Amino acid sequence: MSMTTIVPEQVDLIVGNRHHDPFEILGSHPIEQNGKKFWAVRAYLPNASAASVVLPEQRQEYPMQTVHHPHFFECSIEVAELKNYQLRIKEGEHERVIYDPYAFRYPNLTDFDLHLFGEGNHHRIYEKMGAHPTEINGVKGVYFAVWAPNARNVSLLGDFNLWDGRKHQMRKGPTGVWELFIPEIGTGEPYKYEIKNFEGHIYEKSDPYGFQQEPRPKTASIVTDLNAYTWTDQDWMEKRRHTDPLTQPISVYEVHLGSWLHASSSQPAKLPNGETEPVVIVSELKPGARFLTYRELADRLIPYVKQLGYTHIELLPVAEHPFDGSWGYQVTGYYAPTSRFGRPEDFMYFVDKCHQNNIGVIVDWVPGHFPKDGHGLAFFDGSHLYEHADPRKGEHKEWGTLVFNYNRHEVRNFLVANALFWFDKYHIDGIRVDAVASMLYLDYCRQAGEWLPNQYGGRENLEAADFLRQVNHIIFSYFPGILSIAEESTAWPMVSWPTYTGGLGFNLKWNMGWMHDILDYFSMDPWFRQFHQNNVTFSMWYHHSENFMLALSHDEVVHGKSNIIGKMPGDTWQKLGNVRCLFSYMFAHPGKKTMFMSMEFGQWSEWNVWADLEWQLLQYDDHQQLKQFFQDLNHLYRSEPALYTQDFDREGFEWIDCSDNSHSVVSFIRRDKNSDDFVVVVCNFTPQPHAHYRIGVPEQGFYIELFNSDARGYGGSNMGNLGGKWTDNWSLHSRPHSLDLCLPPLAVLMLKLDRQKTAEVM
């Protein structure tokens, strides 16, 4: 039966891609004429020369007629119910049969979903937004949803429609979310959104909620099923839920996956199913090299970190980013682990393997800014959607990036859900939030007149502070036992205090003051250190004010700063002694620990993002001995609860003597929270040894020399105390007993009372 049920103006809206809801015109529609009920089926099929409606169950086919346009087709069918019909389409000499996307009118987003999203409280909005393989009425396909409230039209682009935005126009809901179900496609499909603003300008965007992206330089998102991987870390996850990480040893190995080690591009990476991973060339600076995959990194990085004794691996941002030289800190795909190293399930495998080896995974997270790349979030729907319109609030000119509008509910929801997403889908154990100071201060790196004050006339970004509180409150509510670490370099109060006390809700904060003081101190000639004792002692006065992490990170070994060993004065022996002294003091100091890759074997050159670490140095004894030093230091740290159970309590630390600046020596005690055990620490920050150096101690008995950073096995002079010392009944430093020690040059001693041996003798 043939009849026209539509006017030319309606057809023009579809053909011109100017209709906010193509379902009003396309698809199947019940009509009544002359007392009879029919179904009108309409389809806009660019490039089609003929089309018909196929009813598979009835084995009937109805030719469609062109209406008002050579590629707009319609037919009327007299049936009681029209469900799961198909379209037979002829395009030149080719013919295909498809399900009509506009026959599936069931939205995945409910009114309640949209309400929560609109108020910024849909914690798992990533389960709704983006691309999700699903099944409707027995037909498998992919449901797409994207937030673009200021767009005139949004269409899907992909191989499934030859990247033609006319073929799959999306429907706009009342809150600015566009959606469409496309039948008969599945995982592995690349796609983008074609977005038109009201001026007709077209923007091709990757999916803000996309779970995977094509390897650079391509920028399309890829349909992915994140529920396909089978996890084997249930014991780890359950133990984490019931553990307070602040009372545990935390020694973090910070790594950039793209420059830790490379492989030859002539050796393709094999996948579990026998296929090979596409080769991702690194750089012209390293011809013929490719990145290791997540699975290869699991096989090589994890055993290395485990051998060295670190408790966690911290990854510089693994979210998708277009430029290698950004180190990952300019993110375009917040929900997609970078495809440089493989697929999402490969990254899941990496995390899973870490957990099987009792290693936690921390991921750097970047909610402070995003790049201006055309396929990303910038000017997403033809308006300043994710960023502030006013550059005085919306742009970091120093970095050439844009600032999120934390005051907009949907933007805040995007970021809050993203933090939760990495814990939920990838089982990570912590986030380190990058550049928190840039978020908290409206005048960060801005001159007078280049920033806008808050509502009270101040420089504090109140919306960003509220956002950070919301993030931390939510992730700890869902995942107790995790870490949320702030890279915050200012005196903003209560960064690591709970949100219910008015704090920002992190449970750790990088101690940037300690880092600057200690590196300044160790870069001095040792003779001058006597005049700068405060650099060593000052941090002890405030160590309990926040939950601090001591970090010597990637930022300290780039941009002309030299690597750690290069910062040290003296000849090679003294440089290595200074390195051992610095890190021994760091591990004895209250606070958790983070250090960047290459420091553990004494790389001389600065970190180069394009190259491998200088693994060839390990052929030399000096560098092998330094690596052994770090291995022993980590294992000592993990075996002595006094060094970690009271990092943030006054009771966990007490000075023995901090005033001997003439010798540049300090001594202190670290105490265990759950026993009477304690560790005595003595640091000699000069190359001058001291044969009879006496310190006061709280109890009499035999003190084992647990650790000596000057040991021969580490390349030191092997001075020490022959395994330990008995106390003398000489009071000193307001203590009833004392030890007569030999202090090696540029070294740290750690001693512990041997209660059993003491009891046997006394």
Decide: 451 and 392 in contact? Cβ < 8 Å: yes
pLDDT recorded at residue 734 = 93
Sign of the four-CA dihedral 625, 631, 635, 637: positive
Is residue 282 scored above 70 in pLDDT? no
Sign of the four-CA dihedral 247, 248, 251, 254: negative
At 305, the pLDDT band (50, 70, 90 cuts) reads: very high
H/E run at residue 191:
strand 190-196
H/E run at residue 259:
helix 257-260
| Gap between the Cα atoms of 360 and 99, Å rounded | 46
Alpha carbon distances (Å) from 504 to 410, 493, 494: 21, 9, 7
Summarize pLDDT for 341-374 with one digit per residue, the tens. 999 999 999 999 999 999 999 999 999 999 999 9
pLDDT recorded at residue 678 = 97
pLDDT recorded at residue 107 = 79
Tokens, residue 403: 């600032």
Alpha carbon distances (Å) from 229 to 73, 104, 135: 43, 29, 20
Residue with tokens 């890829």: 222
Find the mean pLDDT for residues 753-761.
88
| Gap between the Cα atoms of 409 and 467, Å rounded | 10
Alpha helices in 507-563, H assignment, sequence order: 512-523, 534-537
Known catalytic residue at 487: yes
Find the mean pLDDT for residues 256-282.
73
Count the alpha carbons within 13 Å of 72 in the hemisphere toward its beta carbon: 22
At a CB cut-off of 8 Å and minimum separation 6, what does 444 contact?
Answer: 396, 437, 438
pLDDT recorded at residue 249 = 98
Summarize pLDDT for 37-90 with one digit per residue, the tens. 889 999 999 999 999 999 987 788 999 999 999 999 999 998 878 888 999 999
pLDDT recorded at residue 37 = 85
Sign of the four-CA dihedral 168, 171, 176, 182: negative
Tokens, residue 722: 């022959």
Is residue 602 scored above 80 in pLDDT? yes
Give the Cβ contact number of residue 1 at 10 Å.
Answer: 11
Known catalytic residue at 111: no
pLDDT recorded at residue 642 = 98
Tell me the helices (H) and strands (E) count for the chain, helix number first.
16, 39
- Give the distance from CA 278 to its chain's centroid: 24
User: Among 280, 276, 439, 453, which residue's Cα sits nearest to residue 369?
Assistant: 439
Is residue 530 scored above 90 in pLDDT? yes
At 253, the pLDDT band (50, 70, 90 cuts) reads: very high
Is residue 285 scored above 70 in pLDDT? no
Is residue 258 scored above 60 in pLDDT? yes
Average pLDDT of the chain, as a whole number: 94
The pTM score is 0.95
More confident position, 267 or 373 = 373
| Cα dihedral 489, 490, 492, 497 in deg (nearest 10) | 30
Find the mean pLDDT for residues 739-757.
96
User: Among 550, 760, 574, 534, which residue's Cα sits nearest to residue 666?
Assistant: 534
Decide: 119 and 409 in contact? Cβ < 8 Å: yes
At a CB cut-off of 8 Å and minimum separation 6, what does 662 contact?
Answer: 530
H/E run at residue 436:
helix 436-440
Is residue 265 scored above 90 in pLDDT? no
Decide: 348 and 295 in contact? Cβ < 8 Å: no
Is residue 451 scored above 60 in pLDDT? yes
Tokens, residue 64: 């469609």
Give the Cβ contact number of residue 236 at 10 Å.
Answer: 21
At 271, the pLDDT band (50, 70, 90 cuts) reads: low
Sign of the four-CA dihedral 58, 63, 66, 70: positive
More confident position, 683 or 284 = 683
Question: Which conformational region is residue 3 in: left (phi greater than 0), alpha (psi within -120 to 50 degrees), or beta?
Answer: beta
pLDDT recorded at residue 705 = 97
Tokens, residue 452: 């806008």
Give the Cβ contact number of residue 288 at 10 Å.
Answer: 11
Q: Which of 100, 346, 410, 434 is catalytic?
A: 434
Q: Which of 194, 345, 429, 487 is catalytic?
A: 487
217 prior amide bond cis, ω within 30: yes
H/E run at residue 422:
helix 409-426
Summarize pLDDT for 646-676 with one digit per residue, the tens. 999 999 999 999 999 999 999 999 999 999 9
At a CB cut-off of 8 Å and minimum separation 6, what does 740 contact?
Answer: 692, 693, 694, 725, 728
Measured N-to-C along each axis, helices 572-588 and 512-523 cross at an angle, to the nearest 10 degrees, of 150
Strands 678-684 and 665-671: antiparallel
At 547, the pLDDT band (50, 70, 90 cuts) reads: very high
Is residue 605 scored above 70 in pLDDT? yes
